[in-house]
Amino acid sequence: MSATTLFAAPAVSTLAAYAGPWTFLQAAHLLRRATFAPTKNEIDEAVALGLNGSLQRLFSSIPLPAPPVYYDYEGHTQAGLGDTWIDLPIENTDRTGDGNARRRSMDAWWILSTAADGFTVREKMLLFWHNHFGIADTNDMRVVYRFMTHYRNFATGNFRELMKVMTIDPAMLVFLNGNSNTAANPNENFAREILELFTIGKGPQVAPGDYTNYTELDVAELAKAFTGWRTRYFNSVNPDQTGESYFQANRHDTSTKRLSHRFGNAEIPNNGEDEYKDVVDLIFQQDEVARYLCRKLYRHFVYYKITPGIEQSVIAPMAQILLDNDYEVGPALQALLGSEHFFEMSIVGDMIKTPLEFVHSIFRVTNFYAQANITDTYLAARVAAVHARDTGMELRNPPSVAGWTAYYQEPSFYRLWLNTTTIQQRTTFQRDATLRWFFFNRQRRYVNWLALLEDFANPFDANAMVAEMAQRFFPQPLLAEQLIAVKELLLPGLEDFVWTGEYANYTANPDDANLRESVSKRLTDMMFGMLQLAEFQVN
C-alpha cells in the first residue's frame, strides 16, 4: 500500500462495526488508545485475537492491583518496607514523615498499577474518571486509594451508580465543601458541579440563570437536597478510625425541593440520608446525560473535535446504546472502540500523548519499571510520576474540578500538553532515557534498549530493525525518507553490513563490555533521534 493510499482522506464513517483489515497497525491503534503503551507481545496477541476477541479481552473483569506499599520508610511501628499502609493509621510518633511517605508511595503506585495490567481498558478509564470528577488536594492517601478503587470498580460499569458513590465519597465531600453543606447554610458547590461538569452539562445560556439543561433555581434546590453529609477521621492515628463520610439528620433540609421547567417542575420530597440517590436518579432521567458522557468519552479516546456529522453519526447512536443499557458504560465504549469511525486512518495518530502516556511509552515498553527490588521499582516509577507532574499532569491533583484543560479547553485541547517548557522537559526525558541515565538510590539506571532487539524478526538487518522499531513506537508507518534518515543515525556514513557484523559479534559474545558498548551506542544514538520525531508525540 502506498503512502498516498494510506493517508487518503477517509469517507464519512459511523458507529457501525469495523470490517476492514486487521493487522499490526489496527491492533496497535486500538491498544494505544484503550491501554497505556502496549508492548509488542500485547499487540501480537491482539492481532491473533482479532478485533472482537481483543475487545472482549479489553473489557474483561480483572482483579484489582496489589495495594501500595512503603518502599522507603521504616518508621511505622506496624509495617516495614514492602508492607501496605492502606489499613494502617498514621504513625502517631511521626505523622509528617508517614504522611509524606504515603504520598510518595501513592504517586509511584499510581504509575506502576496503570502499567501492570496491560491488556485492559480499565486503567485508561481510571484516568478518565479521575479527570471527569477532578478531585484534588486530598492529603489522606487512604481516602485517595478509596476513590481510585471506586474508579476501577466502576470503570466500565454503571455511570449512575458511580455518581451516587462519588456524591458521598469523603474526598468529594471535602473537595466541593459538601461536608459543610447544611440546612441553615446551603453550599451550592457540589450541586453546581454535578450538573455542569459531572452529568448533564451546562448548554448555551438562553436567559438569565437558564443554561438550556438546568437553571440557577435547580442548583439552589439540589444544594438543599445534598445537605446533612459530613466527614471525619482524615489522617487519624486511631487504629479503629479511617477517613469516612456520614449523615447527620439535624443538618439536612427536610423541605420538598421544587425544580425548574428544565426538569419538568419535578419535586423531591425529604428522604433523609437517601435523598441524594433520588437526586441522581432524577438527573439521569434526562437523555442529555448520556450524550454529555459520550462526548467526553469520545474526546478521551478518539479526538477533541466533535463536528455536527460526528454528533449525528457517532455520539447520538453511542448515547442510545448507553441509554438502552441503563447507563452501563461498557457496551457504548466497546461500540466506539470497535467502530469503523475509530479505525479511520485520519484518527490513527491524531492525539497528542498525555504526560502519563508519554512516560509509559518509554518506560513500560522497555520494561524499565522492573527493577531488582521493591525500593528501586517504586523509585523508577517516581521518576515517571515526577516527569508527568513537571509536564502538566500531577496525577493526584488535577488543576481544577473540571480536570486537565487539555480535555476541555477550546480551541487547543490536546495541544495544551505541549509548550516551550513541556517540550523541553520531554526532550530531556528522552535524552536521559537514551544517551544518559536516571539516577536513584545512589546508582545510575540505564534504559536497556538492546533488550528490545531480542524478539525482533531480524535485528541483524539494519533496514528491517529500523522499520520494526518504527512500527513499535509510531502509530502510523514512517515515510521511506524518514526511515533512511533514522538509519543514518545508526550508521552515519557507513554501509549496512557494519551493523550486521557488530551486532552479530555482540550476540556471540554478550559478556564483552566493549562490544556491548559499541552496539548500544549506535542504538541509543538512533533512538534519541527517532524519539525526536513529531510522530512520537502522538498516539
Grid cell at residue 104: 510518595
What is the C-alpha end-to-end distance of the chain, expressed in Å?
A: 21
Mean pLDDT, rounded, for 381-404:
96
- Answer yes or no: are the C-beta atoms of 475 and 538 closer than 8 Å: yes
Rg of the chain's alpha carbons, rounded to an integer? 25
Give the confidence band of 426 by pLDDT, cuts at 50, 70, 90.
very high
- Summarize pLDDT for 345-374 with one digit per residue, the tens: 999 999 999 999 999 999 999 999 999 999
Check if the beta carbon of residue 110 is closer than 8 Å to that of residue 34: no
pLDDT more than 90, % of the chain? 97
Cα separation, 127 vs 517, in Å, equals 39
Identify the band that residue 317 occupies on the pLDDT scale cut at 50, 70 and 90.
Answer: very high
Percent of the chain with pLDDT over 70: 98
| Residue 424 CB coordination number (10 Å) | 11
Provide CB contacts within 8 A for 51, sequence distance 6+.
Answer: 18, 22, 26, 30, 338
State the DSSP code for 91: P
Residue 414 in contact with residue 392, Cβ under 8 Å? no
Alpha carbon distance 504, 204 (integer Å): 66
More confident residue, 40 or 5: 40
Nine-digit cell string for 354: 498525555
10 Å CB burial of residue 405 (0-12, 13-18, 19+) is middle
Q: Among candidates 284, 433, 169, which has minimal Cα distance to 178?
A: 169
234 neighbors 169 (Cβ within 8 angstroms): no
**Residues in CB range of 284: below 8 A, 6 or more apart:** 159, 160, 163, 199, 327
What tens digit of pLDDT does each residue of 53-86 get?
999 999 999 999 999 999 999 999 999 999 999 9
Residue 137's pLDDT band (cuts 50, 70, 90): confident
Model confidence at 539: pLDDT above 60: yes
Q: Which helix (H) or strand (E) holds 231?
A: strand 229-232
Which pLDDT tens digit goes with each residue over 438-458? 999 999 999 999 999 999 999
Asked whether 475 and 343 are in contact (CB, 8 A), the reply is no
For 158-186, the pLDDT digits (tens) are: 999 999 999 999 999 999 999 999 999 99
Whether residue 27 has pLDDT greater than 90: yes
Between CA 322 and CA 294 the distance in angstroms is: 8
CA dist., res. 340 & res. 187, Å (int): 46
Categorize the per-residue pLDDT at 118 as very low, low, confident or very high, splitting at 50, 70 and 90.
Answer: confident
- Assess whether pLDDT exceeds 50 at residue 15: yes
Residue with cell 493487522: 23
CB under 8 A, 24+ apart: contacts of 403-409: 403/130, 403/131, 403/132, 403/133, 403/134, 404/131, 404/354, 406/352, 406/354, 407/131, 407/296, 407/299, 407/300, 407/304, 408/299
Mean pLDDT for 263-269 is 98
Written as nine digits, the cell of 346 is: 485520519
Q: What is the pLDDT of residue 147?
A: 96
Whether the CA torsion 25, 26, 32, 35 is positive or negative: it is negative
Q: Give the H or E element holding residue 229.
A: strand 229-232
CA dihedral over 229, 230, 235, 241, signed as positive or negative: negative
Phi and psi torsions of 479, nearest 5°: -70, 160
Interatomic CA distance for residues 14 and 16, integer angstroms = 5
- How does pLDDT run across 219-261, given as a tens digit for each residue? 999 999 999 999 999 999 999 999 999 999 999 999 999 999 9
What pLDDT score does 6 carry?
A: 40
Separation between Cα atoms, residue 163 and residue 412, nearest integer Å: 29
Output the average pLDDT for the chain: 96
Mean pLDDT of 48-55: 98
Query: What whole-number distance in Å separates Cα of residue 274 and Cα of residue 172?
Result: 17
Query: DSSP readout, 319-375?
Result: HHHHHHTTTBHHHHHHHHHTBTTTT-TTTTT-SBPPHHHHHHHHHTTTTTT--SSHH
What's the pTM?
A: 0.95
pLDDT, position 9: 39
Residue 96: strand, helix, or coil: helix
- Over residues 426-441, the mean pLDDT reads 97
Strands annotated E in 334-492: 438-440, 443-445
What 8-state DSSP symbol labels residue 88?
A: S
Q: Summarize the confidence of residues 102-122 as an average pLDDT.
A: 95
256 close to 268: Cβ distance less than 8 angstroms:
yes
Report residue 12's pLDDT band, with 50, 70 and 90 as the boundaries: low
Residue 258 sits at φ, ψ, to 5 deg, of -115, 120
Q: Is the pLDDT of residue 3 over 50?
A: no
For residues 191-213, average pLDDT = 96
